[in-house]
Amino acid sequence: MRTLDLITLYCLVDDFWKIFRIEWQNHLITSGKAPRGPEPELSISEMMTIIILFHQSNYRTFKHFYAHVSQYYRSYFPTLISYCRFVHLMKGLFVPLFAFLLHHSGSITGIAFIDSTSIAVCHNKRIYRNKVFKGLAKRGKTTSGWFYGFKLHLIINDRGEILAFQLTQGNVADVSMIETLTKGIIGKLFGDKGYISAEIAKNLFQRGLRLFTSLRNKMKQKLMSLEDKILLRKRSLIETVNDQLKNISQIEHTRHRSPQNFLINLLAGISAYGLQPKKPALNLSDSETTLILV
């Protein structure tokens, strides 16, 4: 990764942290006791930069990436702490990362796509031996088969920007999350067959959001404009985003040792995707654009 990218990322994170830290501290309820132990030598901004940088790199494990940072980026992080200490302190990044992610969420354009993707936390053969997520993760089923873990529900706009997201257990139905995720979103929303619900579609319409889904077998066809049919066929855009989140930003792996760091990994991966200069976007051919604009 180029040095300019590192400096730019740090400045972006540090500018956000300086403002958010003041607001956060003003709303904290103190216990009246002085904090125990020394302050970490590595700042919150530096830790957030490192963890987001990992999800933008080609490294598959954070331990090897941290060794790379220790060897080649020591001059940019002069107070770098040990790997074990960093992993221990990572749980303190949840609120700053979550706020940073919301701060850089996408803008409402009137066109949105909704979908969910599985986040497996272990192989199916090791479900009964998994202790880290015992009582938290659940079995779920997708078109690819059964899995054990969670579901990430996403809404994106036509530019590939994330508008809303929600993490649930693996056995939660997609359609049950649609009203929660779509708060504040207006325009048109396109989803797959898992979001078919006449009652929910009616409720969303009253809030200024029209829901379009593909039909199940033997369902009656409904009148739909040519523009909406074209946009519904472009629903694969959100599947491309899910693929990038998993395979480039690495939000899914089976090496987690605590639920807290699992959440940090998820938020950092989504943040890394949100900072990509080029995202999957709605790519309409000239003929499709002409049909929409007519």
The single-letter DSSP state of residue 159 is T
Q: Is 117 inside any structural domain? A: yes
Residue of 230, 238, 217, 233 whose CA lies nearest to 281: 238
pLDDT at 2 over 90: no
Residues 164 and 60 in one domain: no
Q: Is 267 inside any structural domain? A: no
Residues 183 and 209 in one domain: yes
Residues 159 and 229 in one domain: yes
Q: How many domains does the chain have?
A: 2
Q: Is 151 inside any structural domain? A: yes
Q: Is 266 inside any structural domain? A: no
Distance CA 1, CA 5 (A): 7
Reported confidence tier of residue 71, pLDDT bands at 50, 70, 90: very high
**What domain range is 160 assigned to?**
111-255
Tokens 């530096």 found at: 46
Q: Percentages helix, strand, coil for the chain, rounded to the nearest 5?
A: 50, 15, 35
Residues 127 and 89 in one domain: no
pLDDT at 1 over 50: no
- Mean pLDDT taken over the chain: 89
**pLDDT value at residue 220:** 67
159: number of Cβ within 10 Å = 14
Residues 158 and 251 in one domain: yes
Residues 181 and 66 in one domain: no
Residues 91 and 12 in one domain: yes
Select the more confidently predicted residue: 283 or 94: 94
Q: Is 145 inside any structural domain? A: yes
Residues 99 and 120 in one domain: no
Q: Which residues contact 106 (CB under 8 A, 6 or more apart)?
A: 156, 157, 159, 161, 162, 163, 274
Q: Which residues contact 199 (CB under 8 A, 6 or more apart)?
A: none
Residues 55 and 165 in one domain: no
- Tokens representing 32 are 């009246």
Residues 87 and 169 in one domain: no
Phi, psi dihedral angles at 35 (to 5 degrees): -65, 140
Reported confidence tier of residue 243, pLDDT bands at 50, 70, 90: very high
Reported confidence tier of residue 222, pLDDT bands at 50, 70, 90: confident
Residues 120 and 220 in one domain: yes
**pLDDT value at residue 215:** 76
Select the more confidently predicted residue: 41 or 178: 178
pLDDT at 288 over 80: no
Q: What is the pLDDT of residues 78-116, one digit of tens each?
A: 999 999 999 999 999 999 999 999 999 999 999 999 999
Residue of 263, 267, 270, 264 whose CA lies nearest to 249: 270
End residue of a domain, out of 103, 123, 155: 103
Per-residue pLDDT, averaged over 265-277, amounts to 94
Q: Is 263 inside any structural domain? A: no
Residues 74 and 94 in one domain: yes
CATH number, residue 237: 3.30.420
